[in-house]
Structure 1
Amino acid sequence: MLEELEIRNLGPIRHAVLSPRAGMTAITGETGAGKSMLLDALRLVSGAAIQSGRASAGAQDDVWAQAVFAVSSDSAAEALAKDAGAVGDDGELYLTRSVPAHGRSRALLNGRTVPRSVLAGIAAHMITIHGQSDHMRIASAARQRDFLDRYADDGEQLTAYTQSWEALQAITRKLRALDGEQAAALAQATYLRESIERINAVDPHKGEDEELKSRRERIENAASIAHGVASALSALDPSQMDVDAQHQGALSLIDDATRALEDIHIKEPFGQAADTLKSLSQEISDVVFTLSGQIDDEDSLGDLDTINGRIHELDELTKRWGPGIDDVLAWRDQAENDVQDMDASPERLAALRAERDELFRRALAAARSLSSVRRQAAERLSEHVGTELAALAMRGSVLDVAVSPRDAGKGDESIVLDAHGCDDIEFLFTAFPGAPRLPMGKSASGGELSRLMLALELVAAERSSGAQRSPGEHHGDNDEGVFIFDEVDAGVGGKSAVELGRRLAQLARSAQVIVVTHLPQVASWADTQFVVSKGVFDAPVDETAAKLEGFETSGSRGNDESADRSENGVHLPSVQTVVQEVRGSQREREIARMLAGSESETSLRHARELLESSRL
């Protein structure tokens, strides 16, 4: 829901704030007052391009617009804001754009600078603008297909087809690669198989090369190791060498010293020294145990020639697929996986083609199921839109939603599938009986397209709501977003205008609707009404006292073509633009002005009657 729109220095508006509420909001005013600038501001915050020349005359600051939206925590717009790192507070999103007189524009989301495309992506989930310059969006085949799919509620069929299509594409890419590079694939597969066989013949295990090199080093240095170990043991504990020692070892001497200190029977400092010697004796005993074990291990290291032969085999592997045996084993495991996909043998290709054919049949069945749902929905959509168009003063106008399978008529293989199914979808519009049936956007005026879009939105809203709501009931969460209509009342009058207003109010039951209108029969149906007005003043407007056409200026105001001017200290007249919400008698006077161009007693009475009758 759009909670607030603020504008600075855009066209004739120096500053304006619009605060629409739930339901239907009407924006009225004299031609040229600046109503279209409000739509331009929404396009601006929606990421649209804008010319810097649209700045207000005499304005020194940038063109600036900001829209504040209330969103739910699980909405798509909120998710996109999180992805952009600009999460809002209290369920609100602030979309801001500023355009300098010279240079590039700046886009902000919740005060954080973001690319303009981010604003466009978020706004696409919240705002739908139906103006003369916006209708061509629905003229694209992709937009029309998306609209029909939403109306058809075919998510289950669309998901099933998408999964089948992606599986078909994956195996098609694999077959194309094998067919196009069959010789290279065969050579690579042969190399991989031979390499795997060679590695498996040697049958290495993890860490084997380092382990063997360590053993070889021990064997090559066995004599020096044995001499060193024997000398160390003789010095520490000669009894470990199985010889009669002519002298005591270090361990025995330390034990003698320990007993001598303990015999003193005085704790300090001799007891502490004895404890230290005991600890040292235990550590030396551990060293003696370790060294004595090494003497026995030297005999179990294996034959040096055998070890060197094995190391040579492993070195041959590491030179090609190393640098280490662990790397060789990892390469072999990956090669075993790759060779399966690179198998371009006739048997393998035949198996893949059979699998591709089966996946095509599945995708085709899913596409036909999706197409069936679309065709049924297209018939309902065309019928319901025709009913709405008749009520909108376009009796005889017809919208045909054409769903045409892409089939050359020569069997299943001739059906062309793409990521969206097997259908070409086109919205064809006949403006009046006898007129040619042409694609949307080429067969209707701006006003007719606006009413056609209103009819489409009404039918879609009725479809999604499922049940009629009680009169006056609005969706506080605005699940359907914000709809903006401009020129929807072009060429409409009388009873048709009343019906147009009624239809807009009906749409406002399930979404927030903002309509720019010059018809009192439309504006009278609105829950909220804003008036955009101009006036000439001898001095700048004082918000506390000035009045414009009978409206208090407690709302927002701005200057258009001429800024405040002065000559010799005397203020000259300047044009001021006011955006003002009207209620009660003020609204009656505005409706009377729209009816008769005056505020006579007759026009005021007519205005009151119109407002009273414009209720669902």
Structure 2
Amino acid sequence: MLEELSLRDLGPIRSAVITPAPGMTAITGETGAGKSMLLSALSLISGGPANAKRVSVGASEAWAQGIFAVDDEDGADEPAEAEGDDADEALAGGALAIARRAGVEPEDGELFLARTVRATGRSRAVLGGRTVPRSVLAAVAGELVTIHGQAEQLRIASAARQRDFLDHAAGDDRELAAYHAAWRALADMDARLERLRSQESSARAQADYLRESVDRINAVDPHPGELEELKAKRERIENAADIAEGVSRAIGALDASQLDIGDIETPGASDLITQAAQALRGIHVSGGEFGELADRLDSVNTDLADIVFTLSGHLGEDMGETDLDTLNARIHDLDELTRRWGPSVEDVIAWRDKAAFDIEDLDASPEKLAELESERGRLHEAAAQAADALSAARAAAAARLAARVTEELSSLAMDGASLEIRVTPRSGDDALDANGGDDIAFLFTPYEGSPQLPMGKSASGGELSRLMLALELSAADMHTAPGGDDDEAASAASAGMTFIFDEVDAGVGGKAAVELGRRLARLARSSQVIVVTHLAQVASWADAQFVVTKEPPDADDDDLGVVTTVNEVRDDARVHEVARMLSGSESEASLDHARELLEDSRL
């Protein structure tokens, strides 16, 4: 709900503050006084286009701000599905969700929407004190304000707006949610299939590469640790002569008796150590120290004997009939594998085993594709059934809504006018889209005998405003509990919304004007209504009335031209304003008529 509208330096209005009533507020004043500037202010804070020509003469910028009350209860940070008395929370929740995504939190249950337009033409949108893109301001305002003016109301001419309005009136949230879920599942599957189809050729190429690689590795047939063993063996073969000579010399130095080279007179290290041990044991003194040393020498000799035995095993070592060229070729093959899939033979083997599994997955892709296509068919059938249910709900609501609107139009001085709402199911493979499987068209006949034309192309501004009023009222009535009184209809779908009507009284007078005011007041029972009017019969139904008045400039500001003021009128002041609207004068008769009109204008 709009709690306050403030503007500064917008057209002839230097400064104004309006606090609309929760129900119906009338904006009145003489023709040309500047009532349109209030609509301009509302359009600005709703993200409408900025026009530098609207900036007051002599001012550097124009500014407008709207303060909206929003329900900030827990759970309102995501758009809710309107149902029953929770609809106002749903609308506020949508605005809050958008604001919070922009990093803005409500303050004391209020959202501040502001817009500045510089004389140079640039504008700045502000939400809750934070500069935001104009589109964000428009999105937030779209959840809070609906403007039915000469330009804004033409938006209903779009098929998308008509579909949204019909869904809003139909209360088909359950069918709509079911279809959206089915459509998302189908769209996700289509995206998955598209990815698989685009990857199918590359998958075949990948499978061929993996298969060739596995075959090459299997042809070599590597074994863990094999490359290191072969390289060590090659090194021993290549250094066999040096090994034999070194081993022989070592054994000769340690124990020459182990060498099959005849009598050796030079004793080896083992013999010398044995002689040293015997010499120590030949010393006969008390204490046993030399005996212990002899024992230690025996221990050393035992280690030497073990070393000699090990070295003797390498004498005449048989390297087998291994061909060095064959050995090098095997090492070369293994090196090639490790360079491509290594760095070690163990890594090559692990890569081969994993590639074998990958080949199975890639080779199974045609079967997987067929499986997914079958699942896609099931999802499409589910989406089609959900679309049929949604279309049926829309068609039933369209018939009821069109009949109610046609009935309302006859009470709004539009005899012979009618509305038809067509719900046409689409056919073919591409019948479904994100919004269902049908096309929605609002076709308006403004007078009897007129051709039936799409909305927005078949009515004047005043006729279209009254048509929109009839639509809003009819949507409200459709949400009334069964058996409820139309005059007490509480529109769950539009609760919490602020409706702005301009030109709704164009070409209306007499009894029709009274009925127009009555219907605006009916809508104001469930929503906030602000109407710009020149008819006393309409203004008299309002809960609050503001008068826009032209005043001559002060002597010091004569170069600024006419100045417009906006003031709320109450009690006697309102009686005088209604009398002026009735007869252009404030005679006693017109004042009595005004009092009577105000007294009679009650639901």
Q: Could you tell me the TM-score, scaled by structure 1's length? A: 0.70
Contact 1:94 1:109 in 2 (8 A): yes
Contact 2:341 2:351 in 1 (8 A): no
Contact 1:26 1:526 in 2 (8 A): yes
1:481 is displaced (CA, Å) by 1.2
- Confirm or deny that 1:401 pairs with 2:385: no
Q: Which residue number corresponds to residue 9 of structure 2?
A: 9
Whole-angstrom CA distance in 2 between matches of 1:515 and 1:528:
11
Moved more, 148-157 or 312-321: 312-321
Structure 1's consecutive aligned runs of 4 or more residues displaced over 6 angstroms after TM superposition are: 193-204, 243-246, 312-315, 321-339, 469-478
Whole-angstrom CA distance in 2 between matches of 1:116 and 1:606:
47
Contact 2:398 2:423 in 1 (8 A): yes
Moved more, 604-613 or 454-463: 454-463
- 1:163 partner SS: helix
Counting only pairs closer than 5 Å after superposition, residues 325-474 of structure 1 correspond to structure 2 as 340=361, 343-345=364-366, 347-407=367-427, 416-466=431-481, 468=484
Counting only pairs closer than 5 Å after superposition, residues 130-529 of structure 1 correspond to structure 2 as 130-179=148-197, 182-191=200-209, 316=337, 319-320=340-341, 340=361, 343-345=364-366, 347-407=367-427, 416-466=431-481, 468=484, 479-529=495-545
Contact 2:480 2:486 in 1 (8 A): no
Flag the 1:518–1:154 CA change in 2: closer, same or farther, 3 A: same
1:340 is displaced (CA, Å) by 4.7
Whole-angstrom CA distance in 2 between matches of 1:157 and 1:84:
30
Whole-angstrom CA distance in 1 between matches of 2:574 and 2:542:
11
1:187 is displaced (CA, Å) by 1.9
Flag the 1:513–1:139 CA change in 2: closer, same or farther, 3 A: same
- Confirm or deny that 1:610 pairs with 2:602: no
Q: Which residue number corresponds to residue 66 of structure 1?
A: 65
- 1:138 partner SS: helix
Q: 1:80 aligned to 95, 98, 103, which one?
A: 98
- 1:372 partner SS: helix
Flag the 1:33–1:348 CA change in 2: closer, same or farther, 3 A: same
Alignment coverage as a number of residue pairs: 487
1:28 is displaced (CA, Å) by 0.1
* Structure having the higher Rg: 2
Flag the 1:357–1:525 CA change in 2: closer, same or farther, 3 A: same
Q: Which residue number corresponds to residue 226 of structure 1?
A: none
Give, as a single letter, the amino acid of the residue that structure 2 aligns with 1:385. V
Whole-angstrom CA distance in 1 between matches of 2:408 and 2:209:
70
Whole-angstrom CA distance in 2 between matches of 1:129 and 1:574:
30
- 1:8 partner SS: strand
Whole-angstrom CA distance in 1 between matches of 2:540 and 2:136:
37
Contact 1:25 1:513 in 2 (8 A): yes
Contact 2:579 2:594 in 1 (8 A): yes
- 1:578 partner SS: strand
Flag the 1:367–1:474 CA change in 2: closer, same or farther, 3 A: closer
Whole-angstrom CA distance in 2 between matches of 1:334 and 1:465:
67
Whole-angstrom CA distance in 2 between matches of 1:151 and 1:199:
70
Whole-angstrom CA distance in 2 between matches of 1:610 and 1:401:
37
- 2:112 partner SS: strand
Flag the 1:382–1:356 CA change in 2: closer, same or farther, 3 A: same
Flag the 1:457–1:322 CA change in 2: closer, same or farther, 3 A: farther
1:100 is displaced (CA, Å) by 1.2
Give, as a single letter, the amino acid of the residue that structure 2 aligns with 1:492. V
Flag the 1:587–1:478 CA change in 2: closer, same or farther, 3 A: farther
Whole-angstrom CA distance in 2 between matches of 1:436 and 1:159:
36
Contact 2:401 2:478 in 1 (8 A): no
Cα root mean square deviation, aligned: 4.0
Residue identity over aligned pairs, in percent, reads 55
Unaligned runs of 5+ in 1: 217-242, 247-308, 408-412, 541-562, 566-572
Flag the 1:172–1:605 CA change in 2: closer, same or farther, 3 A: same
Q: Which residue number corresponds to residue 581 of structure 2?
A: 594
Flag the 1:475–1:428 CA change in 2: closer, same or farther, 3 A: closer
1:10 is displaced (CA, Å) by 0.9
Moved more, 388-397 or 428-437: 388-397
Q: Could you tell me the TM-score, scaled by structure 2's length? A: 0.72
Moved more, 193-202 or 12-21: 193-202
Give, as a single letter, the amino acid of the residue that structure 2 aligns with 1:24. M
CA offsets 1:109-156 (integer angstroms, 9 cap, x no match): 111111111101100000100001012211111111111112222222
Give, as a single letter, the amino acid of the residue that structure 1 aligns with 2:66. A
Give, as a single letter, the amino acid of the residue that structure 2 aligns with 1:138. I
